[in-house]
Each structure stands twice: as structure tokens, then as C-alpha cells.
Amino acid sequence: MSGKPRLLIVDDEPDMLDFLERVFRSEFAVTRFGSADEALAHLQTGAAYDVLVTDQKMPRMTGVELLEHIRESHPKLVKILLSGFTDLPEIQRAIERCGIAAYVVKPIDSERLRAAVSEALARTSS
């Protein structure tokens, strides 16, 4: 991999997008979207990323639904799901059907999130 790994962030909260971009911009080339619909349309153009960090609870399309839409077209993408809720059936569905590498509960500890992403990326690179 040349240069910084590519990270796609999807969250409907502008403050959370700003926070996540600050957490990752020194280590990743960051692209961000405020809705799953926008991110899906972008990914369907053939855009390639190494890591996707998405919120679960968003209007019109959840994070799990986004991951289900892209699981076949982006099988090597490292997927991280964020949520302020501990909805166990959704988490289980995401693990089984979407191959998420990590689930992080809000409020987010930036060091824990950074470590989860780094560990997931290292697992897929080896």
C-alpha cells in the first residue's frame, strides 16, 4: 500500500464527522459523507477504500444496511460499525452478514477507536 491508507467515514451527525476526521487524518486519507445514501452512491462509482467507519443509526439507511449493500462489491474493505445503542441483534447481523471487524459503542474513546481500526487493518493485511 503506497501512501496513507484510505478511510471512508459515514455519519449523519456533522460534529461526529468532524471528530472522526480529526482522530484519523494524520494516519489516513479521509473521505466523509453525512449519509449512507451518499456513501453508497460514491462506492458504486468504483471508489476504493481500505477502511469504512460507519454509524449504525442514520435516517433512510442504517450502517448495517449500507454494509449489506456493499459486502459483495467491496469484500476486502475493513468495516467498523459505531453505535450509541447496544442493539445485539443488529450487531450479530453485522458480524454474520457483513463481516464487520469491530463494533464501537458511543461515546467514542478516540484511542480505543484508533486501536480497533489499526488492529483490524493489520489482521486483513497479514
Within a domain: residue 1? no
This prediction's pTM: 0.92
Rounded percentage of the chain residues whose pLDDT exceeds 70: 95
Query: Is residue 62 situated within a structural domain?
Result: yes
Q: Specify the CATH number for the domain of residue 60.
A: 3.40.50.2300
The whole domain housing 84 covers 6-125
The count of domains in the chain is 1
84 in any annotated domain: yes
d(CA 40, CA 111): 28
The pLDDT assigned to 58 comes to 94
- Write down the pLDDT at residue 1: 46
Residue ranges of the chain with pLDDT lower than 50? 1
CA 21 and chain centroid, separation: 12
Q: How far is CA 8 from CA 28, 50, 77, 87, in A?
A: 9, 8, 10, 23
